[in-house]
Amino acid sequence: MEVCHERNNTELVTRNLTKHFGELRALDAVSIDLKGCITLVIGPNGSGKTTLINVVTGFLSADSGKVLFEGKDLTNLPPHEIFRHGIVRTFQTSQPLRKLTTLENLLIAEPGYGESILESLGGSWSRKEEELVERAFSILDFLGMEHLWNEQAMNLSGGQLRLLEIGRALMCQAKLMIMDEPIAGVAPALSHTILKKLKELSGRGIYFLIVEHRLDIVLDYVDWVYVMAGGRIIAEGKGKEILENPEVVEVYLGAQG
Ligand SMILES: Nc1ncnc2c1ncn2[C@@H]1O[C@H](COP(=O)(O)OP(=O)(O)O)[C@@H](O)[C@H]1O
Ligand SMILES: [Mg+2]
Please name each of the domains of the chain with its CATH number: 1-86+175-257 (3.40.50.300), 93-173 (no CATH)
- Candidate of 24, 59, 178 to mutate for ligand 1, largest count of ligand atoms within 8 Å of Cβ: 24
Q: Tell me the pLDDT tens digit for each residue of 206-245.
A: 999 999 999 999 999 999 999 999 999 999 999 889 989 9
Gap between the Cα atoms of 108 and 97, Å rounded: 10
Give me the chain's average pLDDT, please: 90
Report CA(88)–ligand 1 centroid distance (Å). 21
Cβ(93)–Cβ(42) below 8 Å: no
Asked if the model's pLDDT at residue 114 lies above 90, the reply is no
Give the three-state DSSP class for 15: strand
Q: Tell me the pLDDT tens digit for each residue of 37-75.
A: 999 999 999 999 999 999 999 999 999 999 999 999 999
Q: Is the CB of 45 within 6 Å of ligand 1? A: yes
To the nearest whole percent, how much of the chain has pLDDT over 70? Answer: 90
Q: Which run of H or E residues covers position 25?
A: strand 24-30
Report CA(24)–ligand 1 centroid distance (Å). 9
Asked if the model's pLDDT at residue 113 lies above 80, the reply is no
Asked if the model's pLDDT at residue 5 lies above 50, the reply is no
Q: Is the CB of 30 within 6 Å of ligand 1? A: no
Q: How many C-beta atoms lie closer than 10 Å to residue 205's C-beta?
A: 14
